[in-house]
Amino acid sequence: MNQQFKREFVEALTVLAKLIEMRDSYTAGHSEKVSMWSEIVARKLGLSREEQEKIKLAARLHDIGKISIPDGILNKPAPLTEEEYAEIKKHAALGAGILSNIESLKEVSKIIRHHHEWYNGEGYPDGLTGEEIPLGSRIISVADAYQAMTSDRPYRKAFSKEKAIAELERGAGSQFDPKIVRIFIGILLGERENLGKD
């Protein structure tokens, strides 16, 4: 795939991701913000520019598999039933499947597949643990959770920054990679300190 075609293809996928978000007004801009946070964490970790770009793209497209989820589930104004949650859980593998046959996006596809794995092995779709989970997936997991917690949902109001940070700390070592949580919270608190100096 030449560079121009690849760029145009990625742009088309990004438009598709935006269209999926438009189905749910509560998550408008969600993937863009997850992408921004994920890139900042990747940079803090000292990853190469190429790795940062892969993680940024995976974050931008991490919910692309939700194209197959019915609107009634995506927009349900109440907690999901077990059956509905099982349906939602398919989106990570479905999203990976959309990209997996494109040679240049195979690594991006893996990151997307595993962004709901838990550090302790209780996540999905494959029950990976610790560093078996791709680093990009571990980064996106934290950024995605924070962005979801601090956004309004049909069934609950947004958490405050403080409450969301407390939840990330509580999940460190079980749901989340503790190192990524420490870096992410450091970024959040640094952002607050910098805002205070303006």
Proportion of the chain above pLDDT 70, given as a percent: 91
What residues are annotated to the active site? 66
pLDDT score at 45: 96
In the chain the domains, ranked by start, together with CATH numbers, are 3-197 (1.10.3210.10)
Of the given ranges (26-35, 51-60, 97-106), which has the lowest mean pLDDT?
Answer: 26-35
CB 55 within 8 A of CB 139: yes
CB-facing half-sphere around the CA of 194: CA atoms within 13 A: 6
Query: What is the residue type of 111?
Result: I
CB 146 within 8 A of CB 161: no
pTM of the complete model: 0.89
Say whether the peptide bond before residue 125 is cis (omega within 30 degrees of 0).
yes
Q: Which two tokens stand for residue 175?
A: 């749901």
Instruction: Decide if pLDDT at 152 tops 70.
Output: yes
Place of tokens 């970024």: 187
Among candidate residues 59, 75, 71, the one with its CA nearest the CA of residue 13: 59
